[in-house]
Amino acid sequence: MRLVHKLTVTFIAGSFAVLGANGALRVRREVQLFESAAARDHRMIGSTLALAVAATWRAEGEARARALVDAAQKQQRRLQVRLLPTPPLDGEAREALLRDGAVTRIEEAGSEARRVTWISLDVPGARALAVSESLAGERAYVRRSIVDTILLSGALAAITGVIAMMLGTWLVGWPVQRLVEKARRVGAGDFGGPVSVESGDELGALAVEMNAMCDRLDGAQRALAEATDARVRALEQLRHADRLSTVGTLASGIAHELGTPLNVVIARAEMIARREVTGDDAVRSAQVVEQSAGRMTTILRQLLDFARRRQAQTQPFDLVTLARETHGLLLTLAEKKGVELALGEGGAPIVAEVDVGPMQQALTNLVVNAIQAVPEGGHVTIEVLRDDREIDGARVRCALLRVRDDGPGIAEQDVPHVLEPFFTTKEVGDGTGLGLSVAYGIARDHGGEIEIESELGRGSAFTLVVPERPIARASQAAAPPEVRA
């Protein structure tokens, strides 16, 4: 209701100013008219009495004329009438008296002001008649008029203010309050409950437009939620397809890895079944079977864990352990291709809050990409480091998962595109071009980046930068990765 209060105060102030100015002009005009009429009456009384005194003086003598003045003084108590030989006038007043025969002046005597009219008498000795009247009553009347005008103006301003407050609250305050409450609900994400302002003015039109806007926003929000859900599902399907593709790549190496312990299991089982071994030898053969089966179980569990869909959930996790598990999962693939896969020297644990499954997928994609890039006899190294990085203008403590290889490197014109979906420099059938793009999306989901260093003929290094504390950012619609070629 502050708007109504401001409008009301402004209206009262404006009304009071207009009424006050009008009252002041009216009082001034009335005072001028009152003074003009009083001066005219004063001079008329003085002139009439002067004629009577002059006529009496000439007909009956000075004593009779003075008696007439005294009688007039007794009848007009508010007037003072004096007969003087010479009027105490000077300058223009004396000239006006000589010219017009009468002059009126306001004289101040201490705290009292009086109106004095001098009338020249046509008698021997150039006598003059002075008629004076106190202005106390007149000035008291003027003060009462001013006070009455102020009170009347104030009363009118107050009445109009109350009326303005009531009308403002009804026509402006309540509709604006309902609009404000609706705007707050919209700000909180509640687009339901249309606001009702039943008026044909601009506030009513604003309410109609706000309701229509909320309907459109509600529809857009639902559409955005559906699109976001669809995008998340598509992204998860893409990542799962990439995991399955990686599983397919690993399958041939794992088949070789399973072959040796499987042959051992079969051989030992046949020996036990044919009773070729007995006693302690049979026990040792059973233990070998158990160990080989455990080895195969571990390999299959790693593969299934990697391929399985997981619920997205971040948690503090040691990235050194993550690198070690990924190294064990991909070691067979590297050996089959004749590539040495090494794990950097382990130090203290480096813990970051990550979603373990996607993060292992991202690291696996980088390692598989490196293994496929280097020729036989090449080297791939996984390193886990800690360093500060500037992300979105702020220095952030980050964990670094770096995959370095000594392969042929990447052409300078291809470096800016290697993280784009479906971009690949491999032969047809060797890759889909999704692995690095998926890894980049996972890095962005964690508020991180992928840094690329590459030089033709000297190898490449892909660094997965992960803030130790998660940063909310868009996954793919972000700035391109940092590239150093």
HEC sequence for 31-87: HHHHHHHHHHHHHHHHHHHHHHHHHHHHHHCHHHHHHHHHHHHHHCCCEEEEEECCC
Instruction: State what percent of residues in the chain have pLDDT above 90.
Output: 7
In the block, tokens 């006598």 appear at: 127
pLDDT of residue 18: 81
Q: Where are the domains of the chain?
A: 2-159, 314-485
Q: For 118-127, 154-163, 444-453, which range has the lowest pLDDT when averaged over its residues?
A: 118-127
pLDDT band of residue 475 (cuts 50, 70, 90) is very low
Question: Is 35's pLDDT higher than 70?
Answer: yes
The pLDDT of residue 91 is 75
Give residue 434's pLDDT band: very low, low, confident or very high (50, 70, 90): low
User: According to CATH, what is the number of the domain 2-159?
Assistant: 3.30.450
pTM over 0.85: no
- Report DSSP state, residue 390: E
* Residue 462 confidence (pLDDT): 92
Q: Per-residue pLDDT for 335 more than 60?
A: yes
Considering only 274-278, 366-370, 409-413, which range has the smallest mean pLDDT? 274-278
Residue 483 pLDDT: 44
On the question of pLDDT at 381 being above 90, the answer is yes
**pLDDT grade, residue 429 (50/70/90)?**
very low
State how far the Cα of 344 lies from the Cα of 320, in Å rounded to an integer: 9
What would the pLDDT profile of 311-330 be if each residue is shown by its tens digit?
557 889 999 999 988 888 88
Q: Which residues contact 212 (CB under 8 A, 6 or more apart)?
A: none
pLDDT at 230: 83
Please tell me what DSSP assigns to residue 408. Answer: -
Percentage above 70 pLDDT, the chain: 82
Longest dimension (CA), the chain: 185
The stretches of 169-279 forming alpha helices (DSSP H) are 174-187, 202-273
Architecture of domain 314-485: 2-Layer Sandwich (3.30)
Helices (H), 374-426: none
